[in-house]
Amino acid sequence: MLLDGGVSAPKLIVSDRAHVLMPYHVLLDTYEEDRLAGKAYGSTKSGIAPFYADKVSKIGIQVNELFDDDAARTPGKSLPAEKKCAVCPSLSQRSSGSSGTV
């Protein structure tokens, strides 16, 4: 679309070590704002805080993992259990057979 309008294509290089913002980062950011209610810190709910938390904790997904066949075969392998519970509570209930307490 931009190329048709005469705008040149950008020369963009992305490091294979760059971290990837995932949809669950946005969910976690939204859940945290809702949890804090009146004491919320005014997040943009774009997932930046959980994204950086994963990056600093060295549990985030890097671009090179997107091209790793082994990682592609096991989706969510890098996703810690506590995030799986927060993002997909129904999945954790089904797999543990619990009544909803985690």
Alpha carbons 53 and 51: distance in angstroms, whole number: 5
Cα first-last separation, the chain: 48
Q: Residue 19, SS3?
A: strand
32-56: b or e for each residue (b if 16 or more CB lie within 10 Å)? bbeeeeeeeeeeebebebbbeebbe
Alpha carbons 46 and 25: distance in angstroms, whole number: 8
pLDDT of residue 15: 95
Residues 55-65: tens digit of each pLDDT = 998 888 888 88
Residues 19-71: tens digit of each pLDDT = 999 888 888 888 888 777 777 677 778 888 889 998 998 888 888 888 877 76
